[in-house]
A and B are shown apart, each in its own frame.
Chain A
Amino acid sequence: MDFSTFLIQTLNSVQYGLLLFLVAAGLTLIFGIMGVINLAHGSFYMMGSYLAFGLSPMVAEAYGGGLISTFFIGVVIAIILGYLLEWMFYSYLYERDHLQQVLMTYGLILVIEEIRSILVGDDVHGVPIPDWLSASIKLNEVMTYPVYRLFISGVCILLALVMFLVLSKTKLGMMIRAGSVNREMIQSLGVNIKFLYRIVFAAGIAIAAFAGMVAAPVSSVYPGMGQGVLIICFVIVVIGGIGSIKGALIASLLIGFIDTFGKVLLPEVAGVLVYVFMAVILLWKPSGLFKAGS
């Protein structure tokens, strides 16, 4: 590998890592702060992609286009949906053990897949990249780099910053962090914990759906796309430390590097490298790299 190829692969690693963070961030919020194992997280990612696919022609017709307005409408729908789902299903799970959480959220995966199949069918679809982001940058004589991928990276960094600031600098963030440590105590201090959890859950779902929407133009939209990202997201959340935003960001970048360079340098074992890495990290630090709420 010569130096310029190495640089391009590094760019690929960072870009992939940031994309992973975008999906994993919502999961670490819900898993870490509310203690619910949400297997349906990948399904919300898929739902986001399908929202982008379904909404973009409608938005184009109503407002004359606009990726940003599509994202905005999609996120609003996802927040409402997350809020309702928490109220209908997830709110019964906090006191239950993990097996019951797994059962219910797994059931939700099947239901969401079936609804998707009925509404949209099983074909593969594409979402066009808007004109103002469709350019590419020349990297060397044969390869170019799509600007949209850089746009995704920018969005991810922005989201990481916003999440970090909200959790560590605002009163809401303080309540959320406190709630994750001791549910009863914060309730007795007069905070409506049910409402708080509902907001966290809706935010987690909205982030997952947002990730799906942002990724849709490069990943295309197809059945079962959520399952692929779900497992890698759990790996990231566990490595980074459950509930830690900073941890999720660093773990995502590490996984991005291992996956990218693994495929190139050790293609025979590329499939297991990230899991070996997870095992090593857990042997060294059993509860992940960072603490919850950091």
Chain B
Amino acid sequence: MKGIKYSLVALAMVVPSVFAQNQPPLKVGMMLPYSGTFAALGNAIDYGFQLYVKEQGGKIGGREITYVRVDDESEPSKATDNINKLIKRDNVDVVIGTVHSGVAMAMAKVAKETGTTLIIPNAGADIITGPMCAKNIFRSSFSNSQPGFAMGEVAAKKGYKNAMTITWKYAAGEESVKGFKESFEKGGGKVTKELTLPFPGVEFQALLTEVAAAKPDVVYSFFAGGGAVKFVKDYAAAGLNKTIPLVGPGFLTDGTLEAQGEAAQGMLTALHYGDNLNIKRDNEFRLAYAKQYKLQPDVYAVQGYDAAQMLAVGLKATKGDISKKDDFAKAISATKFDSPRGSFTMSKANNPIQDFYLRQVVGKENKVIGIASKSLADPARGCSMQ
């Protein structure tokens, strides 16, 4: 009995303070990979998001932020159930997620049907801000073809005439290669052969032999994680890096330099973030992040941070009422975001229009050495919003 009495007293003390605010807390559904291969990426996004909310004093647009977290396990078959649980059972006001493109596509479908606001902090599938685009779906990262497109411009400007591409035969790789091919051929080059191998195979020797036989001027490749490490090492072990430069999107050398070691030195990659950017905003962000989490931030943390910025812009414009979808979207389209990566705006399809940096591997850093493509926008083919 005593226990009940105490909890009633506690409740009486809590209730007025909740009612004292004019609006209840905003529930943010974080649907990210908290386990498995992408766990580190999911955590970085979550940390980045929280950091921005903390900097605003825990409140955005006058509303306190509470979190509901779901581990999406990077498992597309569970994605629809997971996001439905967040929206219907937990009644979240907005969903943030995710890393894996297949999962994000299922999430975007549900978000489109239910009208729930979705901010994607990584997954790059072109289709999400292409044919699947919607006014309540935003992306704070990139589309897969963007880094490829930026690298293609650089390769063409360097005077390379013919290129070969290598990637896994799956959507992200093919979209990346498509971006490279488009800008490289526009710049006067020619992609002579597109090599692929089944995902997630890591036996590259046969394809490297093909490269050596064809002797192109440059090789563009998209791999990530363990595949990226092995590919870059195999490429160097085959001696190809001495005569045929290997380039790629930033993912080829991001978070993998420790394992790639010597083999990656000097490689050029393109991404919307890098080390040694030396922008004031980035320096502040890196310091705050390192202080808070005792970790160095990466591109994923930046994308999480910017997802929170987007939410803040929309909420401020609607005075905390996220159900005003049109005003929310309008405010985001009209804003120039001040991000650690540099400032960016949003395209009509809700994908960032941003600078892509040219980075070179020096030691264990992806050092920014210039801009590969200025204010690059995804063409968003098939999107009805433009």
- Whether A220 lies near B230 (C-beta < 8 A) is yes
Given contacts A140-B212, A144-B238, contact A222 B205 (CB under 8 A): no
Contacts of A287 in B (CB 8 A): none
Number of contacting residues on B, CB 8 A? 43
| The stretch of A1-9, A72-80, A168-176, A186-194 that contacts the partner chain | A1-9
Let me know if A271 is at the binding interface, CB within 8 A.
Answer: yes
Let me know if A44 is at the binding interface, CB within 8 A.
Answer: no
Contacts of B230 in A (CB 8 A): 218-220
- Whether A142 lies near B198 (C-beta < 8 A) is no
Shortest CB distance A117–B (Å): 7
Complex partner residue of A117 from B35, B198, B243, CB under 8 angstroms: B35
**Distance A141 CA – B255 CA, assembled complex (angstroms):** 33
- Whether B209 lies near A220 (C-beta < 8 A) is no
| The stretch of A62-70, A118-126, A203-211 that contacts the partner chain | A118-126
Shortest CB distance B248–A (Å): 16
Chain B, Cβ-Cβ closest to A272: B198
- Whether B39 lies near A122 (C-beta < 8 A) is yes
- Whether A124 lies near B233 (C-beta < 8 A) is no
Let me know if A263 is at the binding interface, CB within 8 A.
Answer: yes
Given contacts A220-B229, A263-B207, A270-B197, contact A142 B261 (CB under 8 A): no
Instruction: Type the 1/0 row for B39-83, where 1 means its CB is closer than 8 Å to any CB of A.
Output: 110000000000000000000000000000000000000000000
Contacts of A148 in B (CB 8 A): 237
Instruction: Type the 1/0 row for B189-227, where 1 means its CB is closer than 8 Å to any CB of A.
Output: 000000111101111011111101101000000000110
Shortest CB distance A237–B (Å): 19
Interface of B is mostly: helix
Let me know if B288 is at the binding interface, CB within 8 A.
Answer: no
**Distance A218 CA – B209 CA, assembled complex (angstroms):** 16
Let me know if A136 is at the binding interface, CB within 8 A.
Answer: yes
Shortest CB distance B213–A (Å): 5
Let me know if A15 is at the binding interface, CB within 8 A.
Answer: yes
Given contacts A123-B40, A126-B259, A270-B197, contact A143 B206 (CB under 8 A): no
- Whether B40 lies near A263 (C-beta < 8 A) is no
- Whether A223 lies near B229 (C-beta < 8 A) is no
Chain B, Cβ-Cβ closest to A9: B209
Contacts of A122 in B (CB 8 A): 36-37, 39-40
**Distance A218 CA – B238 CA, assembled complex (angstroms):** 12
Let me know if A130 is at the binding interface, CB within 8 A.
Answer: no
Let me know if A196 is at the binding interface, CB within 8 A.
Answer: no
**Distance A143 CA – B202 CA, assembled complex (angstroms):** 19
Shortest CB distance B362–A (Å): 18
- Whether A144 lies near B239 (C-beta < 8 A) is yes
Contacts of B319 in A (CB 8 A): none
- Whether B198 lies near A5 (C-beta < 8 A) is no
8 Å CB contacts to B: which residues of A8-57? 8-9, 12-13, 15-16
8 Å CB contacts to B: which residues of A122-178? 122-126, 128, 136, 138-146, 148
Shortest CB distance B225–A (Å): 6
Let me know if A244 is at the binding interface, CB within 8 A.
Answer: no
Contacts of B258 in A (CB 8 A): 123-126
**Distance A141 CA – B242 CA, assembled complex (angstroms):** 11
Contacts of A138 in B (CB 8 A): 239
Contacts of B225 in A (CB 8 A): 124, 222
- Whether A228 lies near B196 (C-beta < 8 A) is no
- Whether B240 lies near A142 (C-beta < 8 A) is yes
Let me know if A286 is at the binding interface, CB within 8 A.
Answer: no
Contacts of B226 in A (CB 8 A): 124, 220-225
- Whether A126 lies near B203 (C-beta < 8 A) is no
- Whether B206 lies near A264 (C-beta < 8 A) is yes
Chain A, Cβ-Cβ closest to B212: A143
Chain B, Cβ-Cβ closest to A273: B198
Let me know if B318 is at the binding interface, CB within 8 A.
Answer: no
- Whether B37 lies near A270 (C-beta < 8 A) is no
Complex partner residue of B238 from A5, A143, A270, CB under 8 angstroms: A143
- Whether B39 lies near A117 (C-beta < 8 A) is yes
Shortest CB distance A46–B (Å): 11
Question: Which A residues lie at the B interface, using CB under 8 A?
Answer: 1-2, 5, 8-9, 12-13, 15-16, 117, 121-126, 128, 136, 138-146, 148, 218-225, 228, 259-261, 263-264, 267, 270-271
Identify 7 residue pairs between A and B in the complex whose beta-carbon atoms are under 8 Å apart, listed by A's number: A123-B255, A142-B212, A144-B238, A221-B226, A260-B203, A261-B206, A267-B169
Given contacts A15-B205, A141-B243, 8 further A-B contacts (CB under 8 A): A12-B206, A124-B225, A139-B212, A142-B240, A142-B242, A220-B230, A228-B201, A263-B197
